[in-house]
Amino acid sequence: MSPAQLLRRIGFYVFVAVITAFFALPMLWLVTAPFTRNPSLSVSWPDFTLSNFGALTDDPNALPSLYNSAVLSLWTMLITVAVAALAAYALSRVRIPGRDGILYLLLLLSSVITGTAAMVPIFQLMFKLHLLDKDVGVILVMTGGLLPAAIFILKDFMDTMPKSYEESARVFGANSFQVLGHVVLPNVRPGLATIAVWAVVNVWGNFLMPFLLYRTPEKQPAAVTLNNFYTEGGQPNLALISTFSLLYSIPVVIMFLFVSRRYGFRFHGGIKA
C-alpha cells in the first residue's frame, strides 16, 4: 500500500469515526442521563439512581401525556390507513381524467404548505367548528396533513398488484367489498404497515398542531409536555427532560423492532418478497 493510499484510508476511517460519534453521543446521553443523580449536557458514567423516575411521577401531566400521545397516534393512524387505502384503490383502478395530475398536485401542495404556514387558517377553522381543545379536532387536522402522501405511497402498492387476482375472485362471485377485503388488502399489507408506522411516527413527534389546538394541559401529548420541564429558576430540568425523553422514545423503538422483525425492510411494491 502506497503512502497516499494509507493516508486516504486513515482519512476515511477518521471521517467515519467522527460521523459515528456525532450520532452516537446523543444516544449515549439519552441512556445514561436518566440514571445520573445530577445530569449535565456531557456524557458521563451514571451512578444508577432511579430518583429521576420518581421525580417524574410527581408531575401530574408527565405520564398521562404519553397516554394522550398513544391515543392521538392510534386514531390518526387508523383513519389515515383506512381512508388512504380506499382512495388509493379507487385511484389505481378507476380511470379518471387527470388522475395522476390531481395526485401529484395534492402531494405538492401538502409538501409546500407546511403546518407552520397553515396554522392560522387551521386555528380559525377549528375555532369556527368548535373543535379547539378536542381530540377529534387534532386527529382530523393531522389526518388531513398525512393523507396526500399516504395515498400517493399506497397507490404505488396497489398498481403493482396483478389485476388477475381480482378478476379471479369476481369469477367466483365475490363482490367489490369482498375483493377489497379478501384479495386487495391482504396483498398490500407491507404498504399498509408502511403507512401505519409512518403515520404513528409523525403524530408521536408532532409538536406544533397539539401545541396550537390544545388549551388544557391535561390533554396535551408528550411532545408538548416535554416543553414544560423547567426548574424554578427558568433553566431546563435535565433530569426530568432526559428521563421523560427515554420513556418517550421507548414505544417508537419497540414499534420499529416489531415491524422490522415482522416485515423486515423488504417492501417491494404490493407483495412481500
Q: Does residue 250 share a domain with residue 195? A: yes
Residue 234, domain member (yes or no): yes
Residue 270, domain member (yes or no): no
Q: Does residue 92 share a domain with residue 36? A: no
Check residue 68 and give its pLDDT: 94
Q: Does residue 1 share a domain with residue 111? A: no
- The tens place of each residue's pLDDT in the chain, 273 residues long, gives 777 888 888 999 999 999 998 888 888 998 899 998 888 888 888 888 888 898 888 888 888 999 999 999 999 999 999 999 998 888 888 877 777 777 777 777 777 777 777 888 899 999 999 999 999 999 999 999 899 889 888 988 888 888 888 888 888 888 888 888 888 888 888 889 889 989 999 999 999 999 999 989 889 999 999 888 877 677 888 889 999 999 999 998 888 888 777 766 554 444 443
Q: Give the global pTM.
A: 0.82
Q: Does residue 132 share a domain with residue 56? A: yes
Residue 244, domain member (yes or no): yes
Q: Does residue 144 share a domain with residue 255? A: yes
Q: Does residue 56 share a domain with residue 1? A: no
Q: Does residue 123 share a domain with residue 40? A: no
Residue 240, domain member (yes or no): yes
Check residue 264 and give its pLDDT: 62
Check residue 230 and give its pLDDT: 78
Query: How many folded domains does the chain comprise?
Result: 2
Residue 44, domain member (yes or no): yes
Domain assignment of residue 253, given as a range: 52-263
Residue 208, domain member (yes or no): yes
Residue 135, domain member (yes or no): yes
Spatial CB neighbours of 79, under 8 Å, sequence gap ≥ 6: 139, 143
- What does the alpha-carbon distance between residue 256 and residue 45 come to, in Å, rounded to a whole number? 28
Q: Does residue 206 share a domain with residue 152? A: yes
| Three-state DSSP state, 110 | helix
Check residue 266 and give its pLDDT: 53
Q: Does residue 79 share a domain with residue 30? A: no
Q: What is the pLDDT of residues 78-137, one digit of tens each?
A: 999 999 999 888 888 887 777 777 777 777 777 777 777 788 889 999 999 999 999 999
**Grid cell 493516508 in the structure block, residue:** 7
Q: Does residue 212 share a domain with residue 117? A: yes
Q: What is the pLDDT of residues 70-92, one digit of tens each?
A: 999 999 999 999 999 998 888 88
Check residue 203 and give its pLDDT: 94
- What does the alpha-carbon distance between residue 239 and residue 102 come to, in Å, rounded to a whole number? 49
Q: What is the dihedral of CA 236, 242, 248, 252, to 10 degrees?
A: 130
Check residue 127 and give its pLDDT: 92
Q: Does residue 58 share a domain with residue 45? A: no
Check residue 76 and give its pLDDT: 96
How far is C-alpha 233 from the geometric centre of its chain's CA atoms?
A: 34
Residue 160, domain member (yes or no): yes
